[in-house]
Amino acid sequence: MARADIDYISAEQAGTLYGLFLERLTRSPEAVAYKSYCAESKNWIDTTWHDVAREVARWQQALAAEKLEPGDRVALNLRNCKEWVFFDQAAMGLGLIVVPLYPDDRPDNVAYILQDADVKCLFLQNHKQWKRLQPSITEEHSLHRVIINNDDDETVDEPVVYARDFLPDSAGDVIDWDTDPHQMASIIYTSGTTGRPKGVMLSHHNMLSVAAGSLQYFDILADDLFLSFLPLSHTLERTAGYYLPIMAGATVAYSRGIPQLADDIQLVKPTILIAVPRIFERIYTRLQTQLAEKGVLSRMLFKANTNIGWSRFLYEQGRRGWRPGFVLLPVLNKLVASKVLTRLGGRMRLAVSGGAALPEQASKLFIGLGLNLLQGYGLTETSPVVSVNEPANNVPASVGRAIPGVAVKIGDNEELMVRGPGNMLGYWNNHKATAQTINAEGWLHTGDQARISDSGHIFITGRIKDILVLSNGEKVPPADMENAIQSDALFEQAMIVGEGESYLSALLVLNSDKWFSLAKQLKLNPMESHSLEDKSLHQFVIQRLRQLLHDFPAYAKIRRVSLKLEPWTIDNGLMTPTMKIKRAKVLEHYQEDIARLYQQ
């Protein structure tokens, strides 16, 4: 639990997300809010809360001139940077509803969201984004202002304007605005089962309550430094990596991007890291590769450090007795663990993994080396945190206990149900989907199967619906993708795979008649089984899939395929009597093929 001497801003004191910013400005105007890398000076530049207020005031004055009304939607499509915060806070201070977009999303998907949310104003990173998006903007869009952040050299015409020309040179004080905390603050689009994303409506109170509840499970100090690299359009980063640090008075440094992440960790030396499992998997894989190249003694020392460190962790958690080997840890840590932790900046005292399941072997390795690694769970629809492990009560195989204020229970079909102040207001313009997700008693259907231990720890055991969760946290509903693929006569059957992996692959059964003509076209022998492994055939199929999945969001990209001619049938146990694919049986039957799809 949080220490009594820590001066957090409570959800009640903040009232709204904009009120949270105003309260932080009052309490610590000269404290460093953000650190950003300046490419010109090659230095990290500090931005104080007083600096933030000055920029928010400029944005408010400029946005107010656009004659936007409270409740109007404005969108932003930027990489993580302080300007994201300036725009977000300025918009909320005017009563506007913020719609965050993923920087790497496809233009047609962005255009759909802009139309569905009836967005009036859009803030982009650079002119290149606008050039890609513009062909998808139609008369049905209400977009009357597009602002570009970077100082590009391209000439622009209305409604496009560069931020340097849009913003006044200076402005007065930030607006003192107040509203009901339960008013909608943001619409966050998440992957839907129909191939189109659904807009999750979150209130100020939704996100504030979750941030406050999380802070009761671990301490965040005023001198803590977060390194932000998950997209701020991701609800986990927005709530836990943006609003939560404001609540605690901590500083956030913005990484230059995933390619520079390792360097930024070394330069910034963060104390707090919020990440998806993929980051820890990459480090884990790199360590294993490097170990394989080292001598026997180095491998023995590494294994001893992780094993004894893991036992020491269990002892400190009260789940195992004292072991004589613990006396070796100081020496082992100096020889092994300290070198690994130095790669993480050397100051990291807390790492939180969410968005997908963290592989147990990776968790054990990092915890064994002394990293305070906590796994959590949540949904965009729950703002997003439902549960998280606590440092003193950490069961790594679980996703922790429900944060204070959130209730969980097991419903029909072992489904995890959630009720709490973070539960969304509903889906934007989709009452049917809202009613299907939140019942009359306020319980939200997560779609995940789970069990809850006597200690309150939640263990995710499966899914009600067939939804794949990639290692970056992206949730992919495969059914409609598979239907789209099977609309092509070349493909008799299709199943998308990729649970816990970094990309999607497809198991495909080809139509035997079509296969003969295609093989002839590609100069392959259709009677030879190895022809199905031909590189040119796979390239042809992947390109065809790209066309079939064009209308789906950016997540719907198939990178590798396994091709077969033998169909899945009731007789071979891969189909049900109602002609539905037995996904678990297909996965089991083709486990070797799937393993090859993910071999590096």
* 252: its two tokens: 């956030």
List phi, psi (to 5°) of 131.
-65, -35
Secondary element (H or E) of residue 252:
strand 251-254
What's phi and psi for 552, nearest 5 deg? -90, 160
b/e burial code for range 154-171 (CB count within 10 A of at least 16 → b): eeeeeebbbbeebbeeeb
Residue 357: exposure state from Cβ atoms within 10 A (0-12, 13-18, ≥19): middle
For 351, other C-beta atoms within 10 Å of its C-beta total: 21
pLDDT of residue 278: 81
Question: Which amino acid belongs to residue 352?
Answer: V
In sequence order, the 6+-apart residues with CB closer than 8 A to the CB of 313 are: 367, 368, 394
Please compute Rg for the chain using Cα positions.
Answer: 25
CB atoms within 10 A of CB 506: 25
Instruction: Look up residue 194 and give its two tokens.
Output: 């129909």
- Phi, psi values for residue 89, rounded to 5°: -70, -40
- Two tokens, residue 69: 């009304």
d(CA 121, CA 144): 6
**Residue 356: its pLDDT value, please?**
81
pLDDT for 64-86, tens place per residue? 999 999 999 999 999 999 999 99
Q: Give the integer Cα–Cα distance in Å for 295 and 292.
A: 8
Q: How many residues are present in the chain?
A: 600
Distance separating alpha carbons of residues 459 and 398, to the nearest angstrom: 5
Residue 442 bridge partners (DSSP): none
The enclosing H or E element of 281 equals: helix 277-292
Sole residue written with tokens 């910013």: 21
Locate CATH 3.40.50.12780 in the chain: 17-178
Per-residue pLDDT reduced to its tens digit, 460-501: 987 777 788 888 888 887 877 888 898 888 998 999 999 989
Tokens of 154: 């391209």
SS3 sequence, 381-433? HHCCEEEECECCECCCCCCCEECCCCEEEECHHHEEEEECCCCCCEECCCHHH
Of the candidates 204, 237, 212, 222, the residue with the CA atom closest to the CA atom of residue 80: 237
Q: How many C-beta neighbours within 10 Å does residue 418 have? A: 26
Give the pLDDT of residue 577: 56
Domain 17-178, what fold? Rossmann fold (3.40.50)
Question: Percent of the chain, pLDDT > 90?
Answer: 78
Measured at the CA of 164, the angle between CA 159 and CA 170, to 5 degrees, comes to 115
- With a cut of 70, list the residues of the chain below it in pLDDT: 1-5, 191-195, 576-579, 600
Amino acid in the structure at residue 583: R
Q: Using CA atoms, how far apart are residues 442 and 465, in angstroms rounded to an integer?
A: 21
User: Position 557: which residue type?
Assistant: K
- The whole model's pTM is what? 0.84
Angstrom distance (rounded) from CA 424 to CA 181 = 13
What gap in Å lies between CA 129 and CA 103, rounded to an integer?
9
Q: What gap in Å lies between CA 120 and CA 138, rounded to an integer?
A: 13
**Which pLDDT score, from 0 to 100, does residue 445 have?**
96
Look at the block and give the residue holding tokens 């539905």.
580
Q: Where in the chain is the domain with CATH 3.30.300.30?
A: 478-597
The single residue listed with the structure tokens 């890291």 is 273
Q: Report the topology of domain 478-597.
A: GMP Synthetase; Chain A, domain 3 (3.30.300)
Q: How far apart are CA 395 and CA 401, in angstroms?
A: 9
Contact indicator for 154, 127 with CB cutoff of 8 Å: yes
Write down the pLDDT at residue 4. 52
Q: Which residues contact 559 (CB under 8 A, 6 or more apart)?
A: 503, 504, 505, 542
Query: H-helix or E-strand containing 162?
Result: strand 160-162
